[in-house]
Amino acid sequence: MLDNYDAEDINLSIIKADYSGDNPLIGLTVHESDTPPQTWTLEIIGHRASELSFTYYVTDTTILLTDEHPLLWQYSDFQSELYFNGSSTDIHKIVSELNQIDFELFGKYQNSSEQLYALLRTSNGSLGKGSKKLLTKYAECLNRNGIKTSMVGGYSPTYFDGKNSMNGETLKIFLFGGSYIVAKDFIFNKTT
């Protein structure tokens, strides 16, 4: 489907979502100026995660299908734990910088850093577990603000789809109209 359109010239909207089968199905309408709307069915192979927006009026016009995106890190990147030692007189500045990192990487899908205010008031502890790429960015922020860090442990993530164990390197993400879907593959079929 994406080969048939210039992503800058269309708007995708979800008209239905059916998660009842092994492969979820999403009904999409393609809106392109000066042409009648077209409907497509998206078959999701190996669904792992999704956040769908059913509103027609969206400000996020991103349309992207990729196997390289920060939202995939939890499935594909080495997972570790970040510890910190030290404190700062300006915790709000640090939390703001951590939120900025999240926003730059994840946009509207960013993680909430609300609990960080309380956590950073202590002088040491675990900041959290997650993607080594993300925790490295957090560590750099803390280090710039005079807080020492260390990253320990870790594993390569795997997941079970009900039949097979897989690693996250096989996953893709489809971002469109304020929604995203993480899966092994996507099959687009034109219905009208």
Backbone angles phi, psi at 103, to 5 degrees: -65, -45
- What digits encode the pLDDT tens for the residues 97-110? 998 999 999 888 87
Question: What is each CA distance from 149 to 101, 114, 130, 152, in whole angstroms?
Answer: 17, 20, 15, 10
Domain count, the chain: 2
For residue 109, tell me if it sits in a domain. yes
Residues 33 and 82 in one domain: no
Range of the domain at 147: 78-155
Q: How far apart are CA 70 and CA 107, in angstroms?
A: 10
Q: What is the pLDDT of residue 138?
A: 94
Tell me the two tokens of residue 38.
């077209």
For residue 143, tell me if it sits in a domain. yes
Q: What is the pLDDT of residue 32?
A: 82
User: pTM of the predicted model, to two decimals?
Assistant: 0.84
Residues 176 and 148 in one domain: no
Residues 149 and 181 in one domain: no
Q: What is the pLDDT of residue 71?
A: 93
Residues 110 and 45 in one domain: no
Residues 84 and 150 in one domain: yes
Residues 14 and 34 in one domain: yes
Going by pLDDT thresholds of 50, 70 and 90, the confidence category of residue 28 is: very high
Residues 86 and 33 in one domain: no
